[in-house]
Amino acid sequence: MGCRVVRQKGQMLRIVRRPDGSVSVDATGSAPGRGAYVCGAACARLARGRFARALRAPGVDYAEIVAAVEAAVGDGT
């Protein structure tokens, strides 16, 4: 979603807006809700400004989501 590079789904990290409206990194890749995919921390930083629209979840602090992605994949990708 950030860099538009197409990768295999298994290499992507899913960000999910759950039915209760909360947004988090989906470690399982199959949580219910609306999802957006990023392929790494840099990708998440690029996508940060687009998460609200992609997930239809404005008002969420996406800096936290980016930080969670960085924690999950490491900062180098």
The least CB distance from residue 71 to Zn ion, in Å, is 17
- Choose, by CB under 5 A, the member of 16, 43, 57, 68 that binds Zn ion: 43
Stretch that binds Zn ion, among 23-31, 38-46, 49-57, 69-77 (CB under 5 A): 38-46
How many CB atoms within 10 Å of residue 76?
Answer: 8
- Choose, by CB under 5 A, the member of 15, 16, 25, 39 that binds Zn ion: 39
∠55-68-52 over CA atoms, to 5°?
A: 20
Residue 2 as a binder of Zn ion (CB under 5 A): the answer is: yes
User: Residue 39 corresponds to which tokens in the numbers above?
Assistant: 């392929």
Between CA 20 and CA 1 the distance in angstroms is 23
Q: Which residues bind Zn ion (CB under 5 A)?
A: 2-3, 5, 39, 43
